[in-house]
């Protein structure tokens, strides 16, 4: 289960009250999960456990091979770790991700139907 990490760098202008402009370099890590990792992360049991842990600080909890999460209670953030790379989500972001699950399920069902259709077509062509 390999996870690809995309690191993007952005530069933002920060204008404080004194109206002087200073530049801030921000490095943002984006963890790309494969389908298996996504399903393990977003399955009802894991999702509920992570949300329940928002009230208690949790150390790294194993979800799958080389894939963990931890919770920071003070900031209500969830940190996903994958091979020591990480991304921090707020619990609001986490709930937004959960809303994607239905779309992903529909996408998987649609692709399975297409695959079955292709298999039937291939069998007909081979006869």
Report domain extents, the chain. Answer: 11-126
Is residue 71 within 8 Å of residue 94, measured between CB atoms?
no
Question: What is the average pLDDT across 102-106?
Answer: 86
| Token pair of 72 as six digits | 């920071």
pLDDT at 54: 84
Distance, in Å, from the CA atom of 124 to the CA atom of 42, rounded to the nearest integer, reads 39
| Token pair of 61 as six digits | 């909890």
Q: Where are the alpha helices (DSSP H) in 1-90?
A: 35-42, 44-52
Question: What is the average pLDDT across 32-58?
Answer: 85
Question: What is the average pLDDT across 63-73?
Answer: 86
pLDDT at 17: 55
Least trusted range by pLDDT, from 1-5, 78-82, 105-109: 1-5
Instruction: Enter the DSSP assignment of 56.
Output: S
**Percentage of the chain exceeding pLDDT 90:** 0
Residue 22 banded pLDDT, cuts 50, 70, 90 = low
pLDDT at 89: 85
């Amino acid at each position: 289960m390999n996870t690809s990490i995309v690191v993007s760098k952005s530069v933002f202008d920060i204008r404080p009250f004194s109206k002087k402009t200073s530049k801030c370099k921000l490095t943002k890590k984006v963890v790309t999960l494969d389908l298996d990792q996504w399903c393990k992360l977003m399955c009802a049991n894991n999702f509920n456990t992570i949300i329940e842990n928002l009230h208690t600080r949790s150390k790294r909890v194993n979800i799958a091979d080389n894939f963990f999460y931890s919770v920071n209670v003070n900031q209500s953030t969830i940190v996903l770790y994958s091979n020591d790379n990480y991304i921090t989500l707020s619990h609001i972001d986490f709930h937004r991700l959960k809303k994607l699950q239905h779309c992903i399920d529909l996408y998987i069902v649609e692709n399975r139907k297409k695959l079955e259709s292709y298999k039937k077509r291939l069998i007909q062509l081979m006869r």
